[in-house]
Structure 1
């Protein structure tokens, strides 16, 4: 009897110790496996945040709070100066010019750009136990089904599109997202519909004649095309924000980590500030719309706090390219959406692809940290792998580097070897260390002159020292031919090898 009692007691004590160890281990695992919320603004410039631009004409308290309580990268770039290719790079960790899209962007009726067999951040996280969601602007092509299979699908004018919207649509759910609620492309591109998990919620039986900013005012523009009868342009940002808040709220009782990819529709045109946002900034309708972006960020943070998830969530806020803030806008307002950087959205200049990039994970990312690492939005894939302590990604993410060490400490040594930039018109530039080399002259985007043919004896490209000359004023192409040759060789190597990251 005594032996049985002591044997039972020993088992009980051992079990308690094991259970405590297991609980400790679970706590450790949970602390290392955060929820991830990635908020992607649409056409928001580095200078739009009041915390990053002392002379900003816009107040952004919610994003400023993330800067104060987390980290901001001063030298962050998108892989492209326009929407679609940047989104491809974020989700795949691969430069979009390696895909079929060599320049420009997709339209609402175009076929999917991300290849069927290509891993994405979403599929990777899903395979690692995450619940994944995409809510907002997609702009990466959809697998629409034809009404008449003998005729082509869609056109950019949005008339006679030959799409059967009652059929299942291939989109984010085929690329690793458990849940999706999207509009097909930018808010100024038809079709104007909401699609939830591959189903069009309301068929586009109506038609809009569109808006023209020459007639309706700067920033009030969308293309003519088919739309759902109850699709209201002014309500889209609010709708997708509410959906994101709802998704987060629904995770309150769940112990599984989640990944929310939240690509906003703003402040891309049409600029549609509503309610109290009107007149809130000193940067006109655009600035007022940016304040609504900031409010969306605030709504997500509040939802995380209410769900008890904020302390174990990595929240990232960035933009898909620089702001479409034109020379005329600069004449009308003192605000500088792209801060001190040359050019604007679509350009190869830094104003086209240098973006705000801020992140917070309470207790893990030191408050007020600033990093001068040169980083790219393609780095999300490898960075996520790094924070999960996973091995090197062997399949995919060819242009993605693990920047996680720079999120949590002041890493001085460069993590990336170089970044390849790409403009709307397909112009290349490469940045390594302080040097930025562009193969051709001109903006390659929206700014004039878009292209410049060099005269005899003139430099055929540009070379800038981005540390001493961040505004790209002094072309050193002819003074440093050895640097030009080195960067040109490296770019060709990246093209030839199909990757820029070492395995």
Structure 2
């Protein structure tokens, strides 16, 4: 490609669809900068993370492969976890790096890496030695950030493959909105300073870029995930609670990134993406926000961790003045797993059969959003439950939420049908299970998902192996 676009990918952590005023007219949080981003580009109103929780959705974003194909079949990794991305797997960063891009990741990694060990326990780390199999082994020229969520130890900064300062004491943990776990902390690490520090690093990176060489900045924020720590200038500003204030701080970060791009004179040919890794967490205090008329999950059922829409339907805004009409909207069902194929399409290259097995290019949607369509999308909850969506129909292969909302896995699901089918056109709130009325739809979608699992891919191409065992407990529906 003669003039490849720059790419900035801002990934909020646990921010709900309903938190953005450009997507929810009744939002009590006025996200002025995100509204301006939407006005300058495209709003996707039916966009999804591949999973309802952090680690798996990030795996899918970078690899173009559904998260449940990895070794992680449920849950998330933690701060001391090993690497999830398979060695040699193509990522967004390595693809762009191969085509001359400067690549940087600044923020929350949460995909594991190998710490140098000082003993046999997971927390026995030799902080004087480099990490391996981290961002710089997966296509990034530069990394600055934290190993996992901001509420997970160890509380240290890592630059490229080195800890900037080793822990020198034990952090006691915190509760409430400021929740974080007990663990080792470095002398240069203060939780409230992390988002501002990462933002300064991102601004500095952008200030060094020119039109002469394309760049990719992957900017996964640690906010508004716990610990919910809005800076003093944002406290009370939303008129809601600390979570709403923290969302405004995230909005301000987006405004600062937009300003940095404008100062560099790179706006026209920069793809600027804002999205989130999953739905909003209950840590935001849903009852308190509901009393104020604010619903982070908008009209959708559930929240972070759930198989329901509130778990994985996420905000997705894309601005690219050179190719996307300002103020446009797309109602096609899309997934964050689609970015690897999108970049390959933009660059005019074909992905190998063992890469991007579930990724479908968004470029047609950028050009003609009203006619865009995609093959069925697969969703996944924190306990590893599956769902598949095709058009109006959503089949959920579990009796409850598969996550944290009622009915939770276990006793709350006793006596419920083992599967759920919802007509989202008539029932966006997923309240009326119509699986008994449409056995043909259930059979069709179950057959499709079975093929996707067995083929190791959902896109056309040579079948590929899934990582790990060929069968696992959450595939019980395939054996019924």
What TM-score do the two structures reach when normalised by structure 2? 0.93
Aligned partners of 1:331, 1:339: CA distance in 2, in Å? 11
Q: What is the match of residue 25 of structure 1?
A: none
The 2-side partners of 1:291 and 1:338 are apart by 17
* 2:259 alignment counterpart: 302
Partner of 2:97: 126
Gaps of at least 5 residues in structure 2 are 462-480
Q: Would the aligned equivalents of 2:82 and 2:113 in 1 still touch at CA under 8 Å?
A: yes
Residues 350-392 of structure 1: CA distance to partner in whole angstroms, max 9, x if unpaired?
0000000001011321011110110000001001111222234
- Asked if the contact 1:84/1:106 (under 8 Å) is kept, the reply is yes
Distance 1:413 1:229, change over 3 A: closer
CA-CA distance at 1:438 after TM superposition = 0.5
Instruction: Report the more deviating stretch, 361-370 or 104-113.
Output: 361-370
Instruction: Summarize the Cα distance change of 1:406–1:188 in structure 2 as closer, same or farther, 3 Å threshold.
Output: same
Show the counterpart of 2:125.
163
The one of 196, 199, 216 equivalent to 2:162 is 199
Determine if the alignment matches structure 1 residue 350 to structure 2 residue 309: yes
Is 1:262 equivalent to 2:226 in the alignment?
Answer: no
How do residues 448-467 of structure 1 correspond to structure 2 at under 5 angstroms? Answer: 448-451=406-409, 452-453=412-413, 455=415, 459-467=417-425
SS where residue 267 of structure 1 aligns? coil
The equivalent residue for 2:428 is 470
1:189 partnered with 2:152: yes
Residue aligning to 1:249? 207
1:439 maps to 2:397: yes
Contact 2:101 2:214 in 1 (8 A): yes
Tell me how far apart the structure 1 counterparts of residues 60 and 70 of structure 2 sit (CA, whole Å).
Answer: 10
Aligned residue number for residue 71 of structure 1: 42
The yes-or-no answer on 1:403 pairing with 2:362 is yes
Q: How many Å apart are 1:330 and its aligned residue?
A: 4.2
Give the deviation of 1:111 after TM superposition: 0.2
Larger radius of gyration: 1
Q: Distance between the aligned counterparts of 1:131 and 1:435, measured in 2?
A: 41
Conserved? CA contact 1:454–1:460, under 8 Å: no
The within-5 A match list for 1:88-103 is 88-103=59-74
Aligned counterparts of 1:225 and 1:245: Cα–Cα separation in 2: 30
SS in 1 for 2:9: strand
Q: What is the CA distance between 1:442 and its match in structure 2?
A: 1.0
Match of 1:60 in 2: 31
Cα distance between partner residues in 1 of 2:408 and 2:358: 27
- Distance in 1 (alpha carbons) for counterparts of 2:413 and 2:48: 27
Structure 2 equivalent of residue 362 of structure 1: 321
Deviation at 1:146, TM superposition (A): 0.6
Q: Distance in 1 between matches of 2:130 and 2:417?
A: 53
1:340 aligns with 2:299: yes
- In 2, are the aligned partners of 1:459 and 1:478 still within 8 Å (CA)? no
TM-aligned CA distance change 1:449 to 1:100, over 3 Å: same
Q: How far does residue 441 in structure 1 lie from its aligned partner after superposition?
A: 1.3
Measure, in 2, the Cα distance between the counterparts of 1:286 and 1:483: 40
Aligned length: 456
For structure 1, which segment, 320-329 or 42-51, has the greater mean C-alpha deviation from structure 2 after superposition?
Answer: 320-329
Structure 1 residue 426 corresponds to structure 2 residue 384? yes
Assess, with a 3 A threshold, how the Cα gap between structure 1 residues 234 and 349 changes in structure 2: closer, same or farther.
same
Distance 2:351 2:82 in 1: 31
Distance 2:205 2:365 in 1: 29
TM-score (norm 1): 0.89
Matching of residues 314-325 of structure 1 within 5 Å: 314-325=271-282
Partner of 2:183: 225
Which residue is equivalent to 1:482?
A: 440
Alpha-carbon contact 1:382-1:393 (below 8 Å) kept: no
Task: State how far apart, in whole Å, the 2-side matches of 1:282 and 1:73 are.
Answer: 27
| Mean Cα deviation higher: 320-329 or 338-347 | 320-329
CA contact (8 A) 2:286 2:295 kept: no
Per the TM alignment, residue 454 of structure 1 is displaced from its structure 2 partner at its CA by 5.4
Q: Which runs of 5+ in 1 are unaligned?
A: 1-27, 155-160, 214-218
Aligned to 1:179: 142
Following superposition, the deviation at residue 413 of structure 1 comes to 4.7
SS at structure 1 position matched to 2:10: strand
How far is the alpha carbon of 1:327 from its aligned partner?
A: 4.5
Question: Which residue is equivalent to 1:380?
Answer: 339
Distance between the aligned counterparts of 2:17 and 2:164, measured in 1? 35
Secondary structure at the aligned position of 1:317 is classed as strand
Q: Which residue of 2 aligns with 1:236?
A: 194
1:437-481: CA deviations, max 9, x gaps?
A: 0111111111122135453xx633111111221111221111000
| Matches of 2:164 and 2:356, distance apart in 1 | 33
Q: Does 1:496 align with 2:454?
A: yes
2:471 corresponds to which residue?
A: none
